Each structure stands twice: as C-alpha cells, then as structure tokens.
Chains A and B, each alone.
Chain A
Amino acid sequence: MDIATIVQVLESTLRLATPLLFACLAGLISERAGIFDIGLEGKMLMAAFVSAAIAFVSGNVWIGASAAIFASVMLSLLHGVASITFRGNQLISGVAINFLAAGITVVVAQNWFRQGGRTPSLSGDARMQRIDLPFVDALRDVPVLGPVYTILSGHAPLVYVAFLCVPLTWYLLFRTRFGLRLRAVGENPAAVDTAGISVIGLRYGAVAICGVLCGLAGAYLATGLSAGFVKDMTAGRGFIALAAMIFAKWRPWHAMWAVLLFGLLEAVANRFQNIEILGIGIPVQAMQALPYILTVVILAGFVGKAIPPRAGGAPYVKEH
C-alpha cells in the first residue's frame, strides 16, 4: 500500500465522516438535554432535499444551506412540541419524523421538478466548492507534513466547520453556564427547575441546536458530497451517527474519533472491495457490512457500559 492510496482513503474518510459528525453532535446535544432523537435521519434527509432544491432554484449553495437549516429546525421543533410540550414518547416522535421526511421529500420533489422524486443536478455556484488550503502545492512533496496537509486540503467548507464544531460543542457543554444547565436538565430536570431555570426552554434550545447541525449535515450531503437530492439518500447515516454517539458515550471528542472510525471503515470498504488476507479472499459484502457489524458489536456493549443521561427519554412533569 503506497502513500497515494493512504492519502486517498483518508481524504475519503474525512468526507464520509463529516455528515456523521454533524449528526452525531446534533444527537449528542439533544440527548444531553434529555431528549432522545432517533429522527436525525429524517432531519438530514429533509435538509438534503431542501438544500438541493433551494440551491437549484436560487443558484446559490449558501441560500440552499440556510433553507436546509430552517427546514431541519422546523422538524426539530415539531419533535420538541410533541415530546416536550405534549410530553409524547420521544422515540415515536422521532420515528414519525423519519417517515414524514422520507415521504414528503419525494412527493414534493416529484411535484416540483418532475424528475422521479429527485432534484435536478446542481452545478457551479449551486454546489459547495472545495477549497484548497494555502501553500498546499508547495508543501505537497515535504515528507510526512506534505501528505497530511494534502489530506486536510481540498474539502468543502462544511468539512472544516464540522471539525470546528467539536471543540465548540465541548466548550459549550463543559465550559459555559448554558452547557452546565443543559447537562443538568438531562440528568436531573427537577433540580434545574428548583433553581428557577426553565426546563422547557433549555430543552427547546437543545433541539433547536440539534436541528441546525442536522441541517448542515443534510446540506453537505446533497450539495457538497453529491450534486443534488436523490430519494432516501441519507442511506442510514443518521442511525450510524446515533451508534457513534453511544460509542462515544455522549462526549464530543470521542464522538469525533468514533465517526472517523466509521468513515474510515466505509472508505476502506469502498476502496478495497476484493481484499485478500493470508490467501483468503474476503467478499465485498463482508467489507461493506463492517460499519454495521461494528454498530451491532458496539451496541451490544462491547465498549463497556454506555450510560445515557439519566433523565433521557422522560418528559418533564412539574410537581405541584
């Protein structure tokens, strides 16, 4: 295996990990506040469609991304209304959002563009352009630093935003007053309420942030990674992100490593479809199943006990 191959696989890893990272951090913030969110997939899908549709109509990818964030936040608020205000079951509300997004995107796309439930292909400014970091050509041949810098260069801006979100999320959760309260609301909402802070308000804040991040994930998927929306294009990435979040035990830095691992596995499966180890050929299916097998292993508790926030999944009922 030469350097060029490793560089290619790691570049692909970064690209594939980005939507997972956004979605993983989205779920992390929501669940830290005590709101389980299995609707990440649906929100990403909706955002992917809206970003592609609006970017196509307006010809500007950033208008598309803004619309995607708006649409995703709307779905988040729907989840909030159902599970915070009306104290419904958070899992059911999340599933409903997944179904809603899967159906509505295709129906609207079909009526709007008449292309079989997809948006027209994006080109030019309607797509997220890749940016080259400065001096990438000059540094390319420097040993060690060169390949590493090449891997980091030449991605869509949202890739860098995603990785910047990791320290930001960490800072928000563990170094700000808002973060402290947010975590408290996920562990012991009654205590927060006793201190005179609005549990409802904090939880709505968390699902709104979750919506923004899912919106970015979907926008990157449709306008950065590919060039347009195709039905069901999230292809289970929202669920992989949930698995990564549990793997990371609801911690931002660990979440980054977890999604990089999932991204790497997918990149490796794409690159080495017919791999031979010790003379035994490993079939494609086994390679492509790796992320899912890993998910099962992780969820079976291989990584030790993953304890969710204590008040997760439970609607808060004020005592009288």
Chain B
Amino acid sequence: MTALKPLALTASVLALTAGIAQADAPALMFDMGGKFDKSFNEAAYNGAERWRESTGGTYREIEISAEAQRVQFARRLAEAGSDPIVVLGFANEPTLVEVAPDYPDTAFVLIDAVVDLPNVRSVIFAEQEGSYLVGMLAAMATETNTISFVGGMEIPLITAFACGYAQGAKAVNPDINVIVNYTGSTPAAWNDPVRGGEIAQAQFSQGSDIVFAAAGGTGLGVLQAAEDAGLKSIGVDSNQNHLHPGSVLTSMLKLVDQAVYDAFTDGPDMETGVVVMDLAAGGVGYAVDEHNEHLISAEMIDAVEAARAAIIAGELSVHDYRTDSTCPAF
C-alpha cells in the first residue's frame, strides 16, 4: 500500500493537469481511409474544423491505420478525458460495444452504425433517400434510357445506395434499364480506380450514359472514365461536382460534417440514442453549384424538389435495402 501511494498521487496529479489542459475537449476518431479522402472522413474533418472556427474551442483527433488500433485508440481518447468522442464508420460498431460500457460518464457518437447503449449516440444516414433523388435526375438526363451504378465493396450499406438510385430512376421512367455493378468484395475495392474505370467503360458499352459511383477512391476512376467518354457521372458523399465540371451531373451529399458539428456543439450532455439523418433532417441531398447548374434544367429541379417534399411529408417512402435485404427496383 505504501509503495502504491506515490504512484496514486502521481496519477491523480497527472489526471488533474490533463483535466486542465483538455477539459472535456471533444475528440474525433477517423476511420481507415484517412482524414483527407475527399469524401467521408474529410467531411467529418470539415465539420470539426467548422466547429473549431465558430466556437474557438479545441478538439483532439486520431487516425487509425490498422484494424487492431480501433479499440486501443478509442480507449486512449476516453482515458484522456475527451468528451464527447465521435467515432466514424460502420466498422467501429464492435469498438464501441466494447469500449463505451467502460466509460459510462463519457458520451460517444458513432456515425454510420447503431450501438444501443445509454451513453452512445448513433447517427445513421438515409442514403437511399439521397440516392433516390440523384436517381431521378439521372433518369431525366439520360438520352439512352440506360443508367448505371458502380459500388465499392458489396455490403448492405452500398447496396442501399444502389437500391435508392434504382427506385428514383424507375419512379421517373418505369422502363429504364439500371445496370448495377460492384468493384469487389474486399477493402481493396475502395482503392482501385483502374477497375472502376473499366467497369464504367463496360457499362457504357451496354448503353449507359450516366454512372453513379459510390466507391470511395475507386469512384475517381469512374468519374474520369465518364469524362473521357464524353458522358455523365454522379459523385458521392462530398460535393464532387468540381472534379470534372460539365461531366459530373450532380453529387449525392451525405452531411457527415453536420453530424460531427452537431455532436461537438451538443457537448458531453448530449442526448443519446439513434439520430436518423434523412432528407427531413437535411442529412442527405444532391449538389447543385456553378459546375453543374447548366446540366440540370428547371423542370428537373421541380420534379426532384416535389419528390423531396413528398418524402419529407411521408407521402413517399423509399425502401431501405438494409431493413430486409431486398430491393423492389432490382
């Protein structure tokens, strides 16, 4: 006991100083793919930066580079007194199941998956609703009556994008042909622009003239192939309209930045539970800016806005593939 005393004293002094330096500072843990991925993680970073600029606060951040670091880093942030801790990515669901119960006084936020614990806020996006809207735009813009989709890894989350896209397209034109392809079934599928471009070219040869890419880094190859072929593409997550102005028809937005900003603003005393970022909450949408406004006519906007209003009002429901693993539009 006597031997332990100085140790305990040191620990409490350390805890005190740490507490002063990082009094309840929020923290952000990025997923694999890294902070500047032009997409999912970068959106979260932008949200955190926006919070920092508007409040003058500070936050901690950590990037994982290996699967084994998930639990370790989440624990480290909690030990350091960060609160709330925002953890990105569906792959972190088991991480929080393990870590969150050990720190009941710390608030955790999980983005893209649900963990049912009293101190966890789970933020999920209605990707099918945003995809529905860009599917409508694609169906109205196509000249060949054929549109296509390139997914990254074939997982329910990505199939939900494809399913919403196909539903939106078929709502405009029931006879439209929607080609759905995936890049692969391993994480390498997120970073293979060469294969993405080849799949897009194969789809073009089948008559598609608009391709929607929900495939991370692979998507860049898809957008490039569309530009090279003189056809159109649709970006994902962040606004990718500027990547190939005139060729990117629009981008399906997923406002991860807003989810992070809200979590940081709500602070340690936030309400936990499931938060659904759908159209009504402004969590998903489509991008129109100076790079693509000449591609989208007023009639197209009117039709999409009408559908958006109907979805928000509950008159139109978009089927979520994740609920029953089926899609009425396939």
Contacts and interface: CB of A to CB of B under 8 A. Distances in A.
Interface string A281-317: 0001100100000000000000000000000000000
Nearest to B37: A116
Contacts of B235: none
B38 interface: yes
A273 interface: yes
B193 to A, nearest CB: 4
Nearest to B228: A227
B209 interface: no
A266 to B, nearest CB: 8
B205 A226 contact: no
A110 B37 CA distance: 11
A227 B227 CA distance: 11
Given A5-B205, A273-B181, A288-B184, A231 B154 contact: no
A105 B253 CA distance: 30
Contacts of B195: 235, 266, 270
Given A116-B38, A285-B154, A8 B220 contact: no
Interface residues of B, number: 31
Interface stretch (B122-130, B196-204, B272-280): B196-204
Interface string A225-261: 1111011110110000000000000000000000000
B31 interface: no
Interface string A262-275: 00001100110100
Contact of B194 (A8, A121, A233): A233
B36 A114 contact: yes
A225 to B, nearest CB: 5
Nearest to A228: B220
B198 A116 contact: no
- Which of the listed residues B41, B42, B184 has the most CB atoms from chain A within 10 Å of its own CB? B184
A12 interface: yes
A226 B193 contact: yes
Nearest to A231: B191
A160 B220 CA distance: 26
B217 A230 contact: yes
Contacts of A235: 188, 191-192, 194-195
Interface in B219-251: 220-221, 224, 243-244
- Which of the listed residues A5, A228, A235 has the most CB atoms from chain B within 10 Å of its own CB? A235
Secondary structure of the B contact surface, majority rule: helix
Contacts of B192: 233, 235
A4 interface: yes
Interface in B162-211: 181-182, 184-185, 188, 191-195, 197-199, 201-202, 205
A209 interface: no
A230 B220 contact: yes
Nearest to A113: B36
A85 interface: no
Interface residues of A, number: 33
A121 B233 CA distance: 16
A180 to B, nearest CB: 37
B156 interface: no
A155 interface: no
A117 B34 contact: yes
A19 B262 CA distance: 47
Given A116-B42, A233-B191, A235-B192, A270 B198 contact: yes
Nearest to A103: B65
B70 interface: no
B308 interface: no
A5 B202 CA distance: 9
Contacts of A115: 36, 38
Contact of B198 (A121, A267, A273, A288): A267
A16 B202 contact: no
B36 to A, nearest CB: 3
B254 interface: no
A32 interface: no
A116 B154 contact: no
Nearest to A229: B193
A219 interface: no
Given A5-B205, A270-B198, 11 more contacts: A12-B198, A12-B201, A115-B38, A116-B37, A116-B41, A226-B193, A230-B217, A233-B193, A235-B195, A267-B198, A285-B185
Interface of A: 4-5, 8-9, 12, 15-16, 110, 114-118, 121, 221, 225-228, 230-233, 235-236, 266-267, 270-271, 273, 284-285, 288
16 contacts: A8-B201, A12-B198, A15-B198, A116-B36, A116-B41, A121-B224, A226-B197, A227-B220, A230-B193, A232-B191, A233-B192, A235-B191, A235-B194, A267-B198, A270-B198, A288-B185
Interface of B: 33-38, 41-42, 154, 181-182, 184-185, 188, 191-195, 197-199, 201-202, 205, 217, 220-221, 224, 243-244
Top 4 closest pairs, chain A to chain B, by CB: A116-B36, A8-B205, A271-B202, A226-B193
